[in-house]
């Protein structure tokens, strides 16, 4: 009997070693191991590392920095834009510059902090001249976004502009028709709204800001911020 128990314990220890080698630090019921979030952080940072070194599409040749994304990896709310612009490429961070400042203001007005949401783009490297990403670039890059969504598991994704909205909703319909109401992607609520850089470019048109704010209020209601 004792021999059998020893064999079982050795087998369990062997399995735990194997899981640790895979980077899984937490096994339910194993109180000696650190909290489960550590393994998520580890997976997330190795994903970011992979993105920073990625050369899967020609945009790798042109970038200064890949921009994986930024924020809380347990966020209820994600913002997804189309791709990094000039400032983002230089700094390796998403949504910096004027459009980024505006997005930060919107997030604060929604009673969130920038650090408590997750901000990223459909593609992680800057297309030249800030053109829209091409379909083969999106195809090459989309796995990173899917993985981020899988790990974060947000309740709501706000898509900023046409590119991410069409990507998630698999449609050619424009943002003006799709914004302002929830759609669904794999059980996650999607709220399309205008891209902050579109608001910056059309500053004199106050109705655009008003529409974005109406959209964000619907998101706040779902996330208990109203
Ligand atoms: S855009 Fe995406 S797929 Fe292309 S090089 Fe950058 S990270 Fe890789």
Strand partners, 19: none
Ligand 1, atom 3, lies closest to the CA of 141
Q: How far is the CA of 45 from the centre of ligand 1 (A)?
A: 16
pLDDT in tens, 39-84: 999 999 999 999 999 999 999 999 999 999 999 999 999 999 999 9
Residue 60: C-alpha distances to residues 33, 57, 158 (Å):
39, 6, 26
CATH number at residue 59: 3.40.470.10
Position 8 scores a pLDDT of 46
Is the pLDDT reported for residue 19 higher than 70?
A: no
Do 8 and 88 belong together in one domain?
no
Query: Which of 88, 121, 123, 128, when mutated, tests ligand 1's pocket best, judged by the most ligand atoms within 8 Å of its CB?
Result: 123
Domain that holds residue 2: 1-34
pLDDT tier, 1 (very low <50, low <70, confident <90, very high otherwise): low
**Are 166 and 205 part of one and the same domain?**
yes
Read off the pLDDT band of 38 (50, 70, 90).
confident
Residue 60: CB within 6 Å of ligand 1?
yes
Both 15 and 63 in one domain: the answer is no
Output the residue whose Cα is nearest ligand 1's atom 2: 141
Q: Is the Cβ atom of 179 under 6 angstroms away from ligand 1?
A: no
Same domain, 71 and 141: yes
Ligand 1 pocket test target in 137, 145, 148 with most atoms within 8 Å of CB: 137
Q: Is 130 left (phi over 0), alpha (psi -120 to 50) or beta?
A: left
Please say whether the dihedral angle defined by the alpha carbons of residues 150, 101, 161 and 206, taken in this order, is positive or negative.
positive
Let me know whether 81 and 59 are in one domain.
yes
pLDDT value at residue 4 = 52
What is the pLDDT, as a whole number, of residue 226? 78
Per residue in 131-189, pLDDT tens?
999 999 999 999 999 999 999 999 999 999 999 999 999 999 999 999 999 999 999 99
Count of domains for the chain: 2
Separation of CA 68 and ligand 1 centre (Å): 10
Q: 114 with 206, same domain?
A: yes
Nearest to 192 by CA among 209, 220, 170, 216: 216
Tell me how far apart the alpha carbons of residues 40 and 48 are, in angstroms, rounded to a whole number: 12
pLDDT for res 121? 98
Indicate which atom in ligand 1 lies nearest the CA of residue 133.
Answer: 1
Q: 149 and 206: one domain?
A: yes
Q: Is the CB of 66 under 6 A from ligand 1?
A: yes
Q: Are residues 100 and 12 in the same domain?
A: no
Encoded tokens for 109: 């007005």
What is the per-residue pLDDT for 11? 47
Interhelix angle for 37-53 vs 135-152, to 10°?
170
Average per-residue pLDDT for the chain: 88
Task: Answer yes or no: is pLDDT of 27 > 70.
Answer: no
- Would the CB of 137 count as within 6 Å of ligand 1? yes
Give the span between the Cα atoms of 107 and 1, in whole angstroms.
62
CA of 137 to the centre of ligand 1 (A): 7
Based on the domain organization, do 134 and 150 belong to the same domain?
Answer: yes
Please state, in angstroms and rounded to a whole number, the distance separating the CA atoms of residues 222 and 225. 8
Same-domain status, 18 and 123 = no
Percent of the chain with pLDDT over 90: 82
Q: Quick one: 67 and 27 in the same domain?
A: no
Whether residue 75 is found in the same domain as residue 11 = no
């Amino acid at each position: 009997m004792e021999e059998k128990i020893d064999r079982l314990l050795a087998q369990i220890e062997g399995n735990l070693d194997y899981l640790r080698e895979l980077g899984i630090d937490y096994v339910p019921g194993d109180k000696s191991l650190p909290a489960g979030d550590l393994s998520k952080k580890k997976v997330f940072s190795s994903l970011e590392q992979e993105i920073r070194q990625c050369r899967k599409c020609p945009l790798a040749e042109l970038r200064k920095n890949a921009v994986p994304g930024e924020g809380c990896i347990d966020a209820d709310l994600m913002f997804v834009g189309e791709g990094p612009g000039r400032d983002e490429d230089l700094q390796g961070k998403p949504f910096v510059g004027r459009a980024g400042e505006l997005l930060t203001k919107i997030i604060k007005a929604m009673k969130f902090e920038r650090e408590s949401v997750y901000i990223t783009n459909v593609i992680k490297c800057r297309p030249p001249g800030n053109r829209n990403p091409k379909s083969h670039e999106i195809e090459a890059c989309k796995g990173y976004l899917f993985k981020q969504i899988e790990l974060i598991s947000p309740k709501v994704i706000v898509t900023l502009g046409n590119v991410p909205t069409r990507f998630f909703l698999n449609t050619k319909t424009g943002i003006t028709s799709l914004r302002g109401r929830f759609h669904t992607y794999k059980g996650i609520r999607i709220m399309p709204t205008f891209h902050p850089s579109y608001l910056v470019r059309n500053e004199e048109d106050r109705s655009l800001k008003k529409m974005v704010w109406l959209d964000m209020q619907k998101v706040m209601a779902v996330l208990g911020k109203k």
